[in-house]
A and B are shown apart, each in its own frame.
Chain A
């Protein structure tokens, strides 16, 4: 059993397994780009499910719509990281020893090394010459060991380039730190999206209930979000004559976070940074302001966000008045007399029909093309429906009936319906979608990536190599010098460095003999 475990561990930590796992990781990521992903754009997943009703449930069962959080994707990267840990731990231990060990003794036969040289004889005795050479090498930041070899001979071993393995270990350790940072972010991070119409009446505060969408990691207490409130005070979108956007700028007022109310600019690439959360500007659009006056003369005004459907800011939306035509004296409510308008908003109405598409994304000649409906809006059943569309089932069932023909209203115009009630297009307000996020893993991940880069550079460009010198007493005084060099890694320029180092250490130009082992 132990043998089996030891064998499995050895298998898992082998480079071959690591390579296979790396390859699997790459292959496993491919469906994440081919299939729509819930975490990227959930609307695309719904569209895919509508287009492939038979296939979609199976894809879903295999986590095909959430590849990067799927168990099989996690299995691959967890195995990979286990393999990585199993690989770097023994290597770290070996490296630690190597860093503290003295460079090895000079090999007996220097001629067998890939680089070797026979410089001119040195003056003085071998011990002094060796000490001088060792001192020069140390100045060149080599790790040096000088050893007496007997019979008056001295060997000097020099080593450089532990940086390579240090970088290698640093790189892999930092990868683990990045993974942990990502994990922290997914456990303790949260995010919410919210559409905010300009004006104090549409300000929102940072609580779960006030977001249109909210997601949080398992370790987040939704009741303990940092307090602050945001109000959109101003929004400007500038476009080029071609219709291409040139700049989006919003101003928001921040309040309720313990500091005085203040107005700050927010733009794409310039998020609002708050304590414990950041707010990002994502989308924008127009909210036509409509006033409906019912049979009893009671007026209701609402600014309804219309969602853009094209690059020209043509918006689509619905204004619902479920409390219309309630008798103010009796309070009697006729559900068949609820009123709603569905339609298009065009910031620049074209000169000629059809008035279904804006001529320019800026608000130059705004207009709304409205379809009026009267009947039961179907909202009393308590089933949540889209605020941007009418209940199509109610329309199909005849509970909600269209009134008259669709009508284009320009700013300030009024449309009188067949029952003498009126709808008036008063103007527009701007809205933006804001994403509020908190990811505590961000800083660890960034630090991890910085270390990854440092380690990677050391690992790829560091070169471990050794240079050996032997000084043997010569017959006629002085001493004979022999040198050898050993690159421990692929290093084409080693021959040049070797001859320079030997010349520098011995103090004389060396005659290098290249065995042709390197480049």
Chain B
């Protein structure tokens, strides 16, 4: 069962990787994209490139698209079909987009499988050490992303960054923090294990996801202000800045009370396990720092004269503190929350 869980993790990462490639394809070859437009403008060039041999497909369920779908962003100039007429660019774009979503859903199912098989193998909830914790957090992020997507399909282009973040976080976790499946140490044998850790996972997942619209807002905002250099060029395809900004706020507004609750539940547990509800353990300190930064974000967002860009930057800083708490604190500092077997 534990071996199955490990194999599913590989499948999960591969599925997210496929989603990432499909999203990137959609990005690069969509008719509204910079590359796509450039390709349409110079059909001669496209006709020359059209003779290149077809590249391998990115996703198995994807119907054959000449040359471009699987070849990634780099070889963009080569075989853009937009002008040469094999398949209309808009259609290719839609296929790539749908393939990306499908890959994300498959990845999420495999991701769930990783957690379930882990839990069965260890005979407990699958968040007993840093490895499982990070796998669970990224799962929450993906589910929250899919829920968002179901409600706001026009945000699909953000999927590239969600998939990218998932691949990076899961890959880093698998490499640095992998731990054998085993039962809980006595310190974790408590009902609060369920409450505290699960709520921390949900809140962290949402807060980590929140950086995607925040960063895209910053990019799109610059794009709308007329900037075209990298990274603002990425802003061409994403939804309007105002919509991204609102999504950022709603994710954070939803996650912040959850985070507060999760930290409070941890404090109640700490009282019965360690004798004090708050002791400035490194993990606690960084949870406090994140809480303060996100409180700052919500205040900045609610204040009319604070620019939305400033608020979004605070959200990005909040993300950095969360990420540091998740990885940095476990790996660099020695504390009561040291459940990572990374050394």
Chain B CB within 10 Å — which of A16, A18, A242, A449 has the most? Answer: A449
Decide if A256 is an interface residue (CB 8 Å cutoff): no
Does the CB pair B276–A439 fall under 8 Å?
yes
B153 partner residues in chain A, CB cutoff 8 A: none
Cβ distance A169 to chain B, nearest Cβ, rounded Å? 14
Cβ distance B25 to chain A, nearest Cβ, rounded Å? 31
Decide if A301 is an interface residue (CB 8 Å cutoff): no
Decide if B225 is an interface residue (CB 8 Å cutoff): no
A30 partner residues in chain B, CB cutoff 8 A: 285, 289
Decide if A278 is an interface residue (CB 8 Å cutoff): yes
A244 CA / B180 CA spacing, docked (Å):
12
A461 partner residues in chain B, CB cutoff 8 A: 253
Does the CB pair B295–A33 fall under 8 Å?
no
A182 partner residues in chain B, CB cutoff 8 A: 278
Does the CB pair B257–A19 fall under 8 Å?
no
Cβ distance B328 to chain A, nearest Cβ, rounded Å? 9
A411 CA / B256 CA spacing, docked (Å):
58
With contacts A15-B306, A18-B299 known, is A245 near B185, CB below 8 A? yes
A245 partner residues in chain B, CB cutoff 8 A: 185-186
Does the CB pair A460–B256 fall under 8 Å?
yes
Decide if B271 is an interface residue (CB 8 Å cutoff): yes
Does the CB pair A26–B276 fall under 8 Å?
no
B271 partner residues in chain A, CB cutoff 8 A: 442
Chain A 10-33, CB-CB to B under 8 Å as 1, else 0, gives 000001101100110110011011
A270 partner residues in chain B, CB cutoff 8 A: 272
Does the CB pair B246–A268 fall under 8 Å?
no
Does the CB pair B280–A39 fall under 8 Å?
yes
A242 to chain B: closest residue by CB: B182
A349-384 interface (Cβ within 8 A of B): none
| Interface-side segment among A338-346, A414-422, A450-458, A467-475 | A450-458
Does the CB pair B288–A29 fall under 8 Å?
yes
Cβ distance A3 to chain B, nearest Cβ, rounded Å? 23
| Interface-side segment among B11-19, B76-84, B160-168, B260-268 | B260-268
A278 partner residues in chain B, CB cutoff 8 A: 275
A16 CA / B282 CA spacing, docked (Å):
29
A18 partner residues in chain B, CB cutoff 8 A: 299
A234 CA / B186 CA spacing, docked (Å):
18
Decide if A446 is an interface residue (CB 8 Å cutoff): yes
Cβ distance A214 to chain B, nearest Cβ, rounded Å? 14
Decide if A247 is an interface residue (CB 8 Å cutoff): yes
Chain B 295-306, CB-CB to A under 8 Å as 1, else 0, gives 110111001011
A23 CA / B290 CA spacing, docked (Å):
10
Decide if B286 is an interface residue (CB 8 Å cutoff): yes
A456 partner residues in chain B, CB cutoff 8 A: 256-257, 260
Does the CB pair A68–B272 fall under 8 Å?
no
Does the CB pair B246–A490 fall under 8 Å?
yes
Does the CB pair A29–B289 fall under 8 Å?
yes
Decide if B175 is an interface residue (CB 8 Å cutoff): no
Does the CB pair A268–B187 fall under 8 Å?
yes
A436 to chain B: closest residue by CB: B275
Contact pick for A269, options B187, B246, B289, B303, CB 8 Å: B187
Does the CB pair B274–A280 fall under 8 Å?
yes
Cβ distance B21 to chain A, nearest Cβ, rounded Å? 33
Does the CB pair A15–B303 fall under 8 Å?
yes
Cβ distance B163 to chain A, nearest Cβ, rounded Å? 26
Decide if A37 is an interface residue (CB 8 Å cutoff): yes
A457 to chain B: closest residue by CB: B257
Does the CB pair A26–B293 fall under 8 Å?
yes
Contact pick for B186, options A40, A248, A457, CB 8 Å: A248
Does the CB pair B186–A68 fall under 8 Å?
no
Does the CB pair B264–A244 fall under 8 Å?
no
Cβ distance B129 to chain A, nearest Cβ, rounded Å? 11
Decide if A271 is an interface residue (CB 8 Å cutoff): yes
Decide if B292 is an interface residue (CB 8 Å cutoff): yes
Decide if A199 is an interface residue (CB 8 Å cutoff): no
A242 CA / B305 CA spacing, docked (Å):
59
B264 partner residues in chain A, CB cutoff 8 A: 449, 453
Contact pick for A240, options B182, B281, B292, CB 8 Å: B182
A56 CA / B271 CA spacing, docked (Å):
32
Decide if B249 is an interface residue (CB 8 Å cutoff): yes
Does the CB pair B292–A68 fall under 8 Å?
no
Does the CB pair A271–B272 fall under 8 Å?
yes
Decide if B56 is an interface residue (CB 8 Å cutoff): no
Contact pick for A244, options B183, B253, B260, B288, CB 8 Å: B183
B186 partner residues in chain A, CB cutoff 8 A: 245-248, 267-269
A280 CA / B269 CA spacing, docked (Å):
13
A148 CA / B227 CA spacing, docked (Å):
55
Decide if A207 is an interface residue (CB 8 Å cutoff): no
Cβ distance B245 to chain A, nearest Cβ, rounded Å? 10
Does the CB pair A32–B299 fall under 8 Å?
no
Decide if A276 is an interface residue (CB 8 Å cutoff): no
A273 to chain B: closest residue by CB: B272
With contacts A19-B300, A22-B299, A248-B186 known, is A460 near B257, CB below 8 A? yes
Decide if A191 is an interface residue (CB 8 Å cutoff): yes
A460 partner residues in chain B, CB cutoff 8 A: 253-254, 256-257, 298
Does the CB pair A19–B306 fall under 8 Å?
yes
Does the CB pair B280–A37 fall under 8 Å?
yes
B296 partner residues in chain A, CB cutoff 8 A: 19, 22-23, 26
A244 CA / B321 CA spacing, docked (Å):
31
Decide if B279 is an interface residue (CB 8 Å cutoff): yes
Cβ distance A445 to chain B, nearest Cβ, rounded Å? 7
With contacts A19-B300, A19-B306 known, is A446 near B189, CB below 8 A? no
B268 partner residues in chain A, CB cutoff 8 A: 446
Decide if B148 is an interface residue (CB 8 Å cutoff): no
Decide if A398 is an interface residue (CB 8 Å cutoff): no
Cβ distance B263 to chain A, nearest Cβ, rounded Å? 9
Cβ distance B286 to chain A, nearest Cβ, rounded Å? 6
B303 partner residues in chain A, CB cutoff 8 A: 15, 19
A369 CA / B249 CA spacing, docked (Å):
63
Decide if A282 is an interface residue (CB 8 Å cutoff): yes
Cβ distance B39 to chain A, nearest Cβ, rounded Å? 34
A269 partner residues in chain B, CB cutoff 8 A: 186-187, 189-190, 192, 269, 272-273
Chain B CB within 10 Å — which of A26, A29, A33, A278 has the most? Answer: A33
A26 CA / B335 CA spacing, docked (Å):
19
Does the CB pair B286–A437 fall under 8 Å?
no
B285 partner residues in chain A, CB cutoff 8 A: 29-30, 32-33
A32 CA / B289 CA spacing, docked (Å):
11
Decide if A492 is an interface residue (CB 8 Å cutoff): yes
27 A-B contacts, Cβ less than 8 Å apart?
A15-B299, A15-B306, A16-B305, A19-B299, A19-B300, A19-B306, A22-B299, A23-B296, A25-B292, A26-B292, A29-B285, A30-B285, A40-B279, A67-B280, A245-B185, A246-B186, A268-B187, A269-B189, A280-B272, A282-B274, A282-B275, A442-B277, A449-B260, A449-B267, A453-B260, A453-B264, A460-B257
- List residues of B whose CB falls within 8 A of some A CB: 182-183, 185-187, 189-190, 192, 246, 249, 253-254, 256-257, 260-261, 264, 267-269, 271-282, 285-286, 288-289, 292-293, 295-296, 298-300, 303, 305-306, 321, 329, 333-335
**New A-B contacts (12) at CB < 8 Å, excluding given A22-B292, A26-B321:** A15-B305, A23-B293, A26-B292, A37-B280, A242-B182, A267-B186, A268-B189, A280-B274, A282-B275, A445-B277, A449-B260, A453-B257
- List residues of A whose CB falls within 8 A of some B CB: 15-16, 18-19, 22-23, 25-26, 29-30, 32-34, 37, 39-40, 44, 67-68, 182, 191, 240, 242, 244-248, 267-271, 278, 280, 282, 435, 437, 439, 442, 445-446, 449, 452-453, 456-457, 460-461, 490, 492, 519
Complex A-B, nearest 8 residue pairs according to Cβ-Cβ distance, in ascending order? A280-B275, A269-B190, A33-B285, A22-B296, A26-B292, A33-B282, A15-B303, A460-B253
